[in-house]
Amino acid sequence: MKFTLSWLKDHLETDANLEAIVEKLSLIGLEVEGVEDPAAELAAFTVARVISAEQHPNADRLRVCQVETAAHGTVQVVCGAPNARSGMIGVFAPSGSWIPGTEMELKPGKIRGAESNGMLVSEREMGLSDEHSGIIDLSPAEGETAPALGTPLAEVLGLNDPVIEIAITPNRGDCLGVHGVARDLAAAGIGRLKPLNAPKVSGSYDSPLKWQIDSEAAGACPFVAGRHFRGLTNGPSPAWMQRRLTAIGLRPISALVDITNYVTHDLGRPLHVFDAAKVAGNPTMRFARRGEEIVALDGKTYALDDSMLVIDGGQAPEGIGGIMGGEASGCTEGTTEVFLEVALFDPISVAMTGRKLGIHSDARYRFERKLDPDSAVWGVEVASRLIAELCGGEASHPVSAGKRPDPRRHIALRQTRCETLGGLAVPSEQQKEILEALGCDVADAGETLQVTTPTWRPDLEGEACLVEEVLRIVGYDRLPITPLELDTTLPLPALSQRQRRVAAARTALAWRGLEEAVTFSFISAKQAVLFGWNDAQLRLLNPISSELDVMRPSVLPALVEAAVRNSDRGFPDVGLFEVGPQYDDDTPEGQTLVAAGLRSGQALARHWATEQRDLDAFDAKADALAVLEAAGAPVENLQTTPNAPGWYHPGRSGQLRLGPNVLAAFGELHPRVLKAFDLKGPAVAFELFLERIPEPKRKDGGKARPALTLSPFHPVERDFAFLVAEDVPAEKLLRAAKGADRQLISGAQIFDVYRGQGVPDGQKSIALAVTLQPTERTLTDDDLEAAAKKIVTAVEKQTGGSLRS
Amino acid sequence: MLDQTSLDTLKSELLAEVSAATDSRALDEARVSALGKKGRVTALMKGLGGLSPDERREAGQRLNLVKEAVAAAIEARKAELAEAELEARLARETVDVTLPARPFSVGRIHPISQTIEELVAIFGEMGFSVAEGPHIEDDFHNFDALNIPPEHPARQEHDTFFLPPRAEGEAPLVLRTHTSPVQIRTMQQVEPPLRIICPGRTFRADSDATHSPMFHQVEGLVIDKKTHMGHLKGTLIEFCRTFFGIDDLPVRFRPSYFPFTEPSAEVDIGCAREGGRLKIGAGGDWLEILGSGMVHPKVLQNCGIDPEVYQGYAFGMGIERIAMLKYGIPDLRTFFDSDLRWLRHYGFVPLEAPSVVRGL
């Protein structure tokens, strides 16, 4: 919503300056988005007189002018304009001024040997138009007087009127006209609201056209008024109106069109005028018929459907209700009689039609935000006054159809409510004053104020709304600053165990050298398919692009794509992780929190002291285990199984699980996936399902650890090597060894896996170091012998292998 | 042979041998030749047996002195040699310590995660706990319950992403356009008093220099019997000043409109714009960072809470936006690009969890 300061003062009697008005607007909820003061930019440029213009001695096309100015005395200026001549009145730009049209600072200098200390400017140089064939010529016509020397250019052009732009929240349709803005300012103590200038214009004849509302359309258009005008002259509108319209970004067209635009912005009351000569019969509000079309005022053809309200001109739709008029019945320079439309349209109907047709108009914007029903009455009078003033002619008696709705509400406002809800006690007299200034009727009923809201404020629905009205006018700055007290001395934990795991996972992965990424929740269908997506319910109906149209079934594709992007930028060694959602279905339970990571490129940066090696599944397994440990999972009890999902290399991947509960998958990515993303392998990855980690069991519910028993006796380490079949998992062997004597064996580590000489084909040798921790006495050779025997027996029995001799 | 002169000669010969030894082997040879089984001192000891007791005692004492002197010299020389050997070994073992150490790099935490942790730290101190909810929402939780009926103009401003409805005839599902549905879900499930913040992903079908189709918001909600707008001001002023670490940061509350709050307020913080740079702090200019207000009675009602008994406030802000302001990150879209250089530059070392008492 834009308006100029002088326009505002048409409605508001005030001594307040621009700064005070602008600040107050923001503080009462009409947020100022910008103030443009054309005069400020043109302040340096003033009216001057060319005393003499002589031919430049060294240049055919230049003249040396002596210019009389008010502030700089007589100045010599070299000028190339063909119209520069002795005695003319022009506009002078002094040296040092900023020329808006050329975006340069004007410097004194010598032009072909003649000094030049300023400039006589063209309209283009002033940024006013493209006119550059000559300098601005303000010489008076005969019988008129020239503007005084030194008069600012902005004043001469009538541009000394700052333009204010404010953002109107969707509830404040009443402030989509300057009058409404003025009312709010007046309520807030910035001046006095002038009454609406809507004297009754009496009609002199009966309107040949009558409004009709189709009975089915009464919901979409409850009321319409208008009148007929004849004997009009539709010339250009007066300069003051053109200036205002131009200032807010509208193009003046003709008096009749300008009047409708002006009233729309002045009073928030959209109007339409039909060229009555082009309307065949009584205009009727009705729903469009399927297949009907209209060429609207924007010159475009719109296909209508039966949910859209049109104004039927007797033969065809002549306008789309509340949105745009039709071209066929539009006013032209030759228009001499018109029929005025001042209607009330249903906001929802207008919004839906406007959305379907994709038309954004000033009328639609206002109807969507609800109009004052009374405006259908005073709107006719205002329009009639302006048409009479600008176009002459005579008006018919008003006509109307339908019934105006009454949006007023009766709301009880507890006098204490400003204090209990807003924190500020406002004297009831002041509450009453404010609400009355905003147009409410207020009756004091003891404990409460009985408030009747005005017709232009359908947004005032309940007590809380009235509290807001009082408080915003009093000023939010006057509300107290009250600390929020805790019910406890110290705050309780803000995070649940589950939420803390997220931070733990993040920290663990960062310490593993991975960078945290945050990627989009949607990916392309093509990528999603590779990661198991097959649920059409998870495909967006209106994606911003086909690259982002499916809710991701895994976090990995986004990380793979990020790796590719980094590689393309020249950074092929990538380690990334994300803790974020994957979407298994469209229910809340289908959203799973995953910690996922990806490594690609070189496993280790090239370094003088480290050997190079390729990334492998165990890098990913280590990452996954680090998260599990950080998140408090019982890592010791985890089993590894080889059946990871299809996007992993089938022979180089696995799952970490607790029985049937799969906590994580890890491994090399499938070559098919790498190829689809064009990522050079190997790349290893893991996905870990944070919510599946069981809550730690605590017997006493507290945080106490089990008692620690430290053995005084040295642990002993013994090495074993077993020959087992190739398909025996190492974990099985390890488990067998550890389980051989749970009292004595405190740990076992695999330190070698060997195939080759000395090991039969189809078998492998696995060497492990078993730690024996006695608790009662130092182990004797016999003890060790017995323990070793148990270990060998257990391993042989459970794996089918044999001790390697 | 056992006279003093001979012994003195012997002693000086042996000591010379010891001091001439330049390594442990030579020293051992000197020891053997002096004190070994066949050594010269040992031989003389053996010879003591043939002397008279008096002579033996006297000669023995003299010989012993020699023996002790030699033994002491050997020990001393041994230590000297060991020291020299150690010196030599250390010299051999010298490395070029200017070589780089074995690489170990710590990854960085994304600015969004860090900012959320900071929010949790600040609001946690004020008694808020963290609530979360689904990203795929239904119309009720994302709009209707928040007093945004289907025809409401605010719906258009939300640029909602839609997913197919769960059943024919139902409204399509949406990707939540704000984190407010978490407030609804919490109010439906938990009896007041309530004090929660809801950080998380939000989605809007808009993508340009200043909009991303996915971004993060945090919302706060307090519901009890007595919380009013003064508390809202108290909370948010405290938050802004703590988050930005500026004690005198100007904070301004402006009336505004949100369908789910009444009265509503937008919150500006002070800033200065100089030469195209934005500086947070007292500077004569204002920057909007927050939306807030008292929870609309209809919203409470929609969640089964009696608005005649309970009231409270809600607020919300963009996490990327406040992170950009605090940490000087110029471009929203770069948050989701996963450029390693960006992540390392703007990310945070995972050294300690953000905390108000330690400083943010």
Q: Helix (H, G, I), strand (E, B), or coil: what is residue B185?
A: helix
> Does position B1 have pLDDT exceeding 70, yes or no?
no
* Protein fold of B111-346: BirA Bifunctional Protein; domain 2 (3.30.930)
* Among chain B residues, CA nearest to A486: B127
CA dist A424 and A416 (Å) reads 9
Which of A31, A484, A516 is nearest residue B254 as measured by Cβ atoms? Answer: A31
| Residue A698, pLDDT score | 63
CA dist A361 and A372 (Å) reads 18
- Does residue A426 belong to any structural domain of this protein? yes
What digits encode the pLDDT tens for the residues A470-494?
Answer: 999 999 999 999 999 888 888 888 9
Share of chain A above pLDDT 90, in %: 77
| Residue A455, pLDDT score | 97
Which of B103, B110, B353 is nearest residue A605 as measured by Cβ atoms? Answer: B103
CA dist A222 and A214 (Å) reads 10
> Does position B153 have pLDDT exceeding 90, yes or no?
no
> Count of residues for chain A?
805
User: Are A16 and A53 part of one and the same domain?
Assistant: no
CA dist A343 and A309 (Å) reads 12
**Between A and B, how many residue pairs show a Cβ–Cβ distance under 8 A?**
266
The secondary element (H helix, E strand) that includes residue A420 is: helix A417-422
The secondary element (H helix, E strand) that includes residue A318 is: strand A317-320
Q: B15-49 b/e with 16+ CB inside 10 Å = b? A: bebbeebeeeeebeebbebbbeeebbbbebbeeee
Question: Cβ separation of B130 and A499 shorter than 8 Å?
Answer: yes
**Range list of H helices, A165-304:** 178-187, 239-247, 255-267
* Among chain A residues, CA nearest to B339: A566
Distance in Å, alpha carbon of A710 to nearest chain B alpha carbon:
32
Question: Is the CB of residue A34 less than 8 Å from the CB of residue A167?
Answer: no
Share of chain B above pLDDT 70, in %: 99
User: Are A583 and A648 part of one and the same domain?
Assistant: yes
Residues with Cβ within 8 Å of A290's Cβ and at least 6 positions away in sequence, in order, are A304, A305, A306
| Residue B353, pLDDT score | 80
- Residue A753 sits in a domain whose CATH number is 3.30.70.380
Which of B104, B262, B336 is nearest residue A520 as measured by Cβ atoms? Answer: B336
User: Are A128 and A174 part of one and the same domain?
Assistant: no
- Does residue A271 belong to any structural domain of this protein? yes
> Does position A701 have pLDDT exceeding 60, yes or no?
no
- Does residue A661 belong to any structural domain of this protein? yes
User: Are A569 and A425 part of one and the same domain?
Assistant: no
Distance in Å, alpha carbon of B107 to nearest chain A alpha carbon:
4
Question: Cβ separation of A510 and B109 shorter than 8 Å?
Answer: yes
> Does position A805 have pLDDT exceeding 80, yes or no?
no
User: Are A30 and A85 part of one and the same domain?
Assistant: no
Q: Helix (H, G, I), strand (E, B), or coil: what is residue B209?
A: coil
Question: Cβ separation of A565 and B335 shorter than 8 Å?
Answer: no
Does A474 contact chain B (CB < 8 Å)? Answer: no
| Poorest-pLDDT segment among A104-113, A307-316, A368-377 | A104-113
Does A520 contact chain B (CB < 8 Å)? Answer: yes
Which chain B residues are closer than 8 Å to A420 by Cβ? Answer: 226, 228, 311
User: Are A10 and A44 part of one and the same domain?
Assistant: no
- Residue A375 sits in a domain whose CATH number is 3.50.40.10
- Residue A140 sits in a domain whose CATH number is 2.40.50.140
* Among chain B residues, CA nearest to A611: B102
Q: Where are the domains of chain B?
A: 4-93, 111-346
Question: Cβ separation of B207 and A559 shorter than 8 Å?
Answer: no
Does A377 contact chain B (CB < 8 Å)? Answer: no
The secondary element (H helix, E strand) that includes residue A468 is: helix A463-474
Residues 585-604, chain A, touching B (beta carbon < 8 A) = 586-588, 590-591, 604
Strands (E), A249-292: 272-275, 284-287
Q: What are phi and psi of B75, to 5 degrees?
A: -60, -45
Average pLDDT over residues A616-632: 95
3-state DSSP helix/strand/coil % of chain B, to nearest 5:
45, 20, 35
Interface test with A, best of B140, B163, B239, B242 (most A CBs within 10 A): B163
- Does residue A485 belong to any structural domain of this protein? no
Average pLDDT over residues B279-287: 90
Does A500 contact chain B (CB < 8 Å)? Answer: no
Query: What type of residue is A266?
Result: D
> Does position A699 have pLDDT exceeding 60, yes or no?
no
| Residue A446, pLDDT score | 86
Which of A464, A515, A540 is nearest residue B343 as measured by Cβ atoms? Answer: A515
Question: Cβ separation of B255 and A494 shorter than 8 Å?
Answer: no
> How far is residue A557 from each of residues A23, A605, B327, measured CA to CA in Å?
50, 25, 29
> Does position B100 have pLDDT exceeding 70, yes or no?
yes
The secondary element (H helix, E strand) that includes residue A677 is: helix A671-677
- Does residue A237 belong to any structural domain of this protein? yes
- Work out the mean pLDDT of chain A and round it to a whole number: 93
User: Are A526 and A419 part of one and the same domain?
Assistant: no
The secondary element (H helix, E strand) that includes residue B67 is: helix B53-93
Question: Cβ separation of B262 and A488 shorter than 8 Å?
Answer: no
Does B161 contact chain A (CB < 8 Å)? Answer: yes
Residue numbers of the domain that contains A773: 716-803
Q: What is the end-to-end Cα distance of chain A in Å, rounded?
A: 92
Which of B120, B166, B238 is nearest residue A586 as measured by Cβ atoms? Answer: B166
What digits encode the pLDDT tens for the residues A12-56?
Answer: 999 999 999 999 999 999 999 999 988 888 888 999 999 988 888
User: Are A231 and A371 part of one and the same domain?
Assistant: yes
| Residue B94, pLDDT score | 93
| Residue A140, pLDDT score | 85
> Does position B12 have pLDDT exceeding 60, yes or no?
yes
Residues with Cβ within 8 Å of B234's Cβ and at least 6 positions away in sequence, in order, are A480, A481, A482, A483, A484
pTM: 0.86
Question: Cβ separation of A609 and B102 shorter than 8 Å?
Answer: yes
CA dist A719 and A737 (Å) reads 11
**Total count of domains within chain A:** 6
What digits encode the pLDDT tens for the residues A1-12?
Answer: 999 999 999 999
Does B241 contact chain A (CB < 8 Å)? Answer: no
User: Are A421 and A520 part of one and the same domain?
Assistant: no
Adjacent-strand bridge partners of B162: B174
- Does residue A555 belong to any structural domain of this protein? yes
Question: Is the CB of residue A637 less than 8 Å from the CB of residue A620?
Answer: no
Which chain B residues are closer than 8 Å to A607 by Cβ? Answer: 100, 102-103
Average pLDDT over residues A223-237: 95
- Residue A493 zone, left/alpha/beta (φ > 0; ψ -120 to 50; rest): beta
| Residue A41, pLDDT score | 80
* Among chain A residues, CA nearest to B287: A33
Share of chain A above pLDDT 70, in %: 99
CA dist A650 and A668 (Å) reads 9
Does A542 contact chain B (CB < 8 Å)? Answer: yes
Residues 35-64, chain A, touching B (beta carbon < 8 A) = none
Question: Cβ separation of A516 and B107 shorter than 8 Å?
Answer: yes
- Residue A31 sits in a domain whose CATH number is 3.30.56.10
User: Are A232 and A282 part of one and the same domain?
Assistant: yes
The secondary element (H helix, E strand) that includes residue A551 is: strand A550-551
| Residue A109, pLDDT score | 87
Average pLDDT over residues B230-256: 96
Question: Is the CB of residue A226 less than 8 Å from the CB of residue A380?
Answer: yes
Question: Cβ separation of A511 and B255 shorter than 8 Å?
Answer: no
Beta strand pairing call for A284-287 and A212-213: parallel
Question: Cβ separation of B108 and A559 shorter than 8 Å?
Answer: no
